Amino acid sequence: MRKLLPGLYSIDMELIKTKQELNEKIIQLRNENKTIGFVPTMGALHQGHLSLVEAAGKQCDEVVVSIFVNPSQFNDPGDLERYPRDLDKDMNLLKNTACELLFAPSVEEVYPETDERVFDFGALDKVMEGEHRPGHFNGVAQVVSRLFEMVKPDKAFFGQKDFQQLAIVREMERQLNSGIEIVACPIVREADGLAMSSRNMLLTKKHRKSAPLIAKTLKESCNFVPFKNIAEIKAFVIGSINGDENLGVEYFDVVDGNTLQPVDRWEDSSYIVGCIAVFAGKIRLIDNIIYKNPGK
């Protein structure tokens, strides 16, 4: 990667489709003593992904991005089928970013045989996304661990929108102990507050119009902390969002930011996060808000 000015790169990004080619490139970079930053994605890239690439470019010598729609993490076949795919568009978006290698393997390349591994994340995956999307995080761990093994990065970058995924990936890395630093990056939002997501492009016009209410309500609920108790905050958030006929809350949980277990009182933890999943028509959106953060 050649940095021209901060945030401006001149790169002939290379598209790689096989593990063998990727391995050769990684060996070459390692021989040059380059540090490697990795951004795993499922494509349908947006500014949120690009912010991860940018963070990786700042912290590492070279950046590898993967695009792979991982079948093993979809518990709903309709969701897998609908998931947007457009490699040319994604490649255009990655041009002149810090991305040096784009790894876009086939399903056979990633899973030459079915992955039978079952991870044990204790209580972390029994709540929220884990509860509503059975098997989802096992699939995420299967693919992320495989990609980590192939890319062998120094650091891997994940967005905080997928708050629970981040906790699961950290726990997976703790168990596998492969020495990869997991870097969390802030949520990137549209001008109207909607958290950026590849699924946003699947929203119908009326659902897209309603969707910003999710972020708006979460933000508003912050003003009530600590004056209203957690049960009241939950009732406010769920009531406000369900008040829009185009939106339906699947869950809104207020949890400890490390254990992800529900918290009943503000004084029960120093790190408290509200995590939500909402159906906007057939499209499921997630978002979260940090109510209390020990780091701040």
Binding stretches for ligand PAF (CB under 6 A): 40-42, 70, 73, 140, 143-144, 162, 165
Active-site residue (options: 49, 132, 136, 207): 49
Q: Of 140 and 187, which has the nearer Cβ to ligand PAF? A: 140
State the nearest-atom distance from the C-beta of 165 to ligand PAF, in Å: 6
Q: Of 99 and 143, which has the nearer Cβ to ligand PAF? A: 143
Q: Of 73 and 138, which has the nearer Cβ to ligand PAF? A: 73
Q: Assign residue 270 a region (left: φ > 0; alpha: ψ between -120 and 50; beta: otherwise).
A: alpha
Residue type, 148: F
- Report the distance separating Cα 8 and Cα 177, nearest Å: 34
State the nearest-atom distance from the C-beta of 133 to ligand PAF, in Å: 11
Contacts of 68 (CB under 8 A, 6+ apart): 40, 41, 42, 43, 103, 104, 105, 110, 143, 147
Has 46 been annotated as catalytic?
no
Number of C-alpha atoms within 13 angstroms, CB side, residue 126?
7
Q: Of 74 and 266, which has the nearer Cβ to ligand PAF? A: 74
**Contact indicator for 230, 264 with CB cutoff of 8 Å:** yes
| C-alpha 55: how far from chain center | 14
State the nearest-atom distance from the C-beta of 259 to ligand PAF, in Å: 21
Of 210, 166, 156, 208, nearest to 187 by C-alpha is 166
State the nearest-atom distance from the C-beta of 231 to ligand PAF, in Å: 31
- Looking at residue 180, the DSSP 8-state letter turns out to be P
Q: Of 103 and 291, which has the nearer Cβ to ligand PAF? A: 103
Tokens 């930053």 — which residue? 37
State the nearest-atom distance from the C-beta of 187 to ligand PAF, in Å: 13
DSSP 97-144: SSEEEEE---HHHH-SS--------TTTTSSHHHHHSTTHHHHHHHHH
3-state secondary structure of 181: strand
Strand 247-256 and strand 272-280: pairing?
A: antiparallel
State the nearest-atom distance from the C-beta of 70 to ligand PAF, in Å: 4
Classify burial at 69, counting beta carbons within 10 Å of its beta carbon; exposed 0-12, middle 13-18, buried 19 or more.
middle
N residues, the chain: 296
Q: CA-CA-CA-CA torsion for 49, 51, 57, 62, nearest 10 degrees? A: 0
Catalytic residues: 49
